[in-house]
Amino acid sequence: MIGHLISLHLGITRDLREAVCLAAAELQGAYAIVVIEEERPDRIIAARNGAPLLLGLSKNGNYTASDASALLQVTRQMVYLEEGDVAELTSDNYHVINITKNKLGTKVRRVELETDLTREAVELGPYAHFMQKEIFEQPVAIANTLEMVFSAHSLSPRLFGSEAESVFQKTSGILILACGTSYHAGLVAMHWLEAISGLPCSVEIASEYRYREPIANPDTLVVGISQSGETADTLAALKYAKSRGHRYSLAICNVPESALIRQTDLRFLSRAGPEIGVASTKAFTTQLAALMLLAAVFAKLRKTISKKQEQKLIDGLRHLPVAIQLALLIEPQIIEWAKNFSHKRHALFLGRGVHYPIAMEGALKLKEISYIHAEAYAAGELKHGPLALVDKEMPVVAIAPNDSLQEKLKSNLQEVRARGGELYVIADADSSIQESKGVHIIRLAEHAGMFSPILHTIPLQLLAYHVALQKGADVDKPRNLAKAVTVE
Ligand code: G6P
């Protein structure tokens, strides 16, 4: 369609750049287009609106791509195009115009910058898959994300931007908008924000929020969580929240040049490094680290924690990379578990409280890459329906840390065993849950307290990875899914 439209204009103007400008001006919705004319293969015209597109510059030629990681083999010098930009590139030159005000474009200057990403960051190295690499990179990714906290020895709102302190002082509630795995991070954060800082918090799926008529409180800070910062629904939901009356917004994002980062008043960059596997792993745990930090900063500001508790939180954050490293040691046990899952058609994941979203994330990981139908339930809901599905063919994964809900969870697990369901329990080191017939237990190396959702994620990522591997699935590129969903 777009090709035909450009060709129609080309028939009149005879100039490819003009034809692309005129065609782009007629398009509705998000696009990133790259066009080459048969007669002039030495020239590329690239246009963007709502979808990411950038230029890569080097002595040996100029390039265009939707993501910097695609160009690291050839250059680290990038130009990020903005909404309505049209770029013309030859091997030794480029220029950019913008068509927002004038259909044929007005010349604009865009900053050339050297990306922080390195070639090694997007290479597999000794790993078999990017997902495996990214799971094992989590200790470093978290350490990088929290580096500023470690050096500052205190929880400063400035970690979220220079304006953050004055915005946070006025904040009376939090609304989190996100999709997919990022939505699960938001659900965990809701528990933390309410319990630690006493701020009321709600979390919504961005694609739902943007089509309802929510009541906005101007002092409720809107937090957009997105690994890519380019998810169309999340971007639109944040704009919509502003139009409904929310005064301030904050982005938790892993891509510094993304649309989300440019769109919000405040921002926190997780520093997970490029995530290439479609199933999100290190982006999720670094989002959680950032969100724990947000809860802790609000708690300090609102004086809901003492100096001693603040120090304990900082110590806990500092210990996280080591704790994750230890959690990764359970891989051999997970490989054994995976053998019992690879031939199954369904699996149930159970959790309670702050670990219910972790069960959701575990189920999402398994279904995304192994194509096993997996559902997560808040364990207390088991008796209201899903128990009917439980028999010996149904593996049930339970996230069972030593928290205030453990005794309740134990009786939920007995309900599963009584129906013949095989239980796979992820417990803390000092858990009172015992292994028995039909009850398999993996104990994490440590009892992680309030950081437990982060640590309990690791076995679930490994489980999904090894089940998919045993099934021979394409772990990094699961069918029908995309890494960044820039369309509705
Ligand atoms: C896609 C990805 C998921 C991701 C979701 C939201 O569906 O496959 O891994 O969680 O988008 O992406 P975001 O970049 O906004 O976190």
The CATH number assigned to the domain holding 281 equals 3.40.50.10490
Direct distance between the N- and C-terminal alpha carbons of the chain, in angstroms, rounded to an integer = 19
Confidence at residue 323, expressed as pLDDT on a 0 to 100 scale: 95
CA-nearest of 346, 342, 283, 279 to 481 is 279
Are 108 and 70 part of one and the same domain?
yes
User: 3-state DSSP call for residue 440?
Assistant: strand
Is the pLDDT at 27 greater than 80? The verdict is: yes
* The last residue of a domain, from among 85, 120, 155: 120
Nearest CA to ligand 1 atom 8: 483
Give residues (CB < 6 A) around ligand 1.
179-182, 226-228, 231, 234, 278, 280, 481, 483-485
Whether 488 maps to a domain, the answer reads no
Instruction: Work out the average pLDDT over 338-348.
Output: 94
The CATH number assigned to the domain holding 85 equals 3.60.20.10
E strand spans, 59-188? 61-65, 77-80, 85-90, 93-98, 106-108, 112-114, 173-178
Confidence at residue 446, expressed as pLDDT on a 0 to 100 scale: 80
pLDDT in tens, 412-465: 888 878 888 899 999 998 888 888 888 999 999 887 788 999 999 999 999 999
Give the range of the structural domain holding residue 196, as residue numbers without chain letter: 129-305
Give dist(CA 348, CA 365) in Å, integer: 12
Whether 217 maps to a domain, the answer reads yes
Are 286 and 344 part of one and the same domain?
no
Confidence at residue 133, expressed as pLDDT on a 0 to 100 scale: 96
User: Which band of pLDDT confidence, cut at 50, 70 and 90, is reported for residue 178?
Assistant: very high
CA-nearest of 466, 456, 457 to 372 is 466
The CA 270 to ligand 1 mean position distance, Å, reads 15
Are 461 and 333 part of one and the same domain?
yes
Are 134 and 166 part of one and the same domain?
yes
The CA 85 to ligand 1 mean position distance, Å, reads 25
Are 260 and 181 part of one and the same domain?
yes
The CA 230 to ligand 1 mean position distance, Å, reads 9
Nearest CA to ligand 1 atom 7: 180
Mutate to test the pocket of ligand 1, among 210, 225, 228 (most ligand atoms within 8 A of CB): 228
Confidence at residue 382, expressed as pLDDT on a 0 to 100 scale: 85
Nearest CA to ligand 1 atom 5: 180
For every residue of 353-392, DSSP letters joined together read GGGHHHHHHHHHHHHHHH--EEEEEEGGGGGGTGGGG-ST
The CA 186 to ligand 1 mean position distance, Å, reads 13
Whether 178 maps to a domain, the answer reads yes
Are 234 and 343 part of one and the same domain?
no
Confidence at residue 431, expressed as pLDDT on a 0 to 100 scale: 84
Is the pLDDT at 336 greater than 90? The verdict is: yes
Tokens 């290190």: give the residue.
Answer: 282
The CA 483 to ligand 1 mean position distance, Å, reads 6
Using a pLDDT cut of 90, give the percent of the chain over it. 74
